[in-house]
């Protein structure tokens, strides 16, 4: 079990989110709180609004099956906006993928505050070890008169994505050689 943080940087070239500012990343670490904002047109259906993706070859696993959850922190939202979390994947070079493959089991959220999205027993089939993991927030706007905005706070522990694998373990390195103390031959 590991945890990613939804981060505003670095931006990515994910294609399924319209606004490049909201094509962002997943990281093992937090940073200074920041916000991402999207405007949804009047009476629009559910579409990918924010997507967060891991670096290339993260998680470097072929079996992603298990339970997923995510924390959402909507600081501002139009009263007619509804939104929810989805989990997906992207190819290593971001040229293909599906960022909305699995959706949260909860009803869509509306209003502001801290929310928890979950998906249990998710089966992905066999993934490529070079694939990237994706968390997407989709939203819709039921107001037929006006566009409405939604703003997410990211970079903090309130904006997390829990996954069924370890996250952020440093790559294997050579064990440091102990400093030599004393005289004699050192080979």
Partner 1 sequence: MKVLVQWASDTPGDYEEIDLNAGNRRNAWRNLPKRPAPKGGERLDEKGYVFDLVIDGIMFYGFDHVAVEPLGGNSIKVYGWTDDLEDEQTNYRWGEVWTIHPHRKDSRVGNQTNTHQVKTVYSEDLEDMAQYFPQETTGGPVQLRPWSEFPMPPEQLVRHGIWVRDENLWKRHFEVRRPVSWRDW
Contacts of 168 (CB under 8 A, 6+ apart): 2, 28, 29
In angstroms, the Cα distances linking 134 to 78, 96, 150 are 25, 12, 20
Q: How far is the CB of 34 from partner 1 (least distance, A)?
A: 11
> Judged by CB under 8 A, does residue 158 bind partner 1?
yes
> Judged by CB under 8 A, does residue 34 bind partner 1?
no
Task: Using the rule CB under 8 A, give the single segment among 57-65, 76-84, 94-102, 125-133 that binds partner 1.
Answer: 76-84
> Judged by CB under 8 A, does residue 41 bind partner 1?
no
Among 32, 95, 107, 170, binds partner 1 (CB under 8 A): 107
In angstroms, the Cα distances linking 77 to 102, 118, 148, 164 are 24, 21, 7, 30
Q: How far is the CB of 128 from partner 1 (least distance, A)?
A: 34
Torsion of CA 98, 103, 104, 107, to 10 degrees: 130
Residues near partner 1, by CB under 8 A: 35, 42, 45, 71, 74-80, 82, 106-116, 140, 142-149, 151, 153, 158
């Amino acid at each position: 079990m590991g945890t990613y943080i939804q981060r505003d940087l670095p931006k990515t070239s994910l294609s399924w989110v319209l606004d490049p500012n909201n094509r962002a990343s997943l990281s093992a670490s937090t940073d200074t709180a920041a916000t991402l904002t999207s405007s949804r047109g009047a009476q629009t259906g559910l579409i990918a609004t924010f997507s967060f993706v891991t670096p290339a070859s993260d998680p470097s696993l072929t079996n992603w099956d298990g339970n997923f959850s995510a924390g959402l922190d909507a600081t501002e939202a139009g009263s007619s906006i509804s939104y929810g979390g989805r989990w997906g994947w992207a190819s290593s070079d971001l040229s293909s993928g599906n960022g909305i493959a699995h959706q949260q089991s909860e009803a869509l959220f509306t209003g502001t505050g801290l929310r928890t999205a979950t998906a249990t027993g998710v089966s992905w089939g066999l993934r490529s070890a070079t694939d990237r993991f994706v968390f997407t927030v989709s939203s819709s706007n039921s107001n037929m008169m006006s566009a409405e905005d939604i703003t997410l706070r990211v970079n903090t522990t309130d904006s997390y994505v829990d996954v069924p694998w370890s996250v952020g373990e440093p790559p294997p390195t050579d064990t440091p050689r102990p400093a030599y103390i004393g005289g004699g031959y050192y080979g």
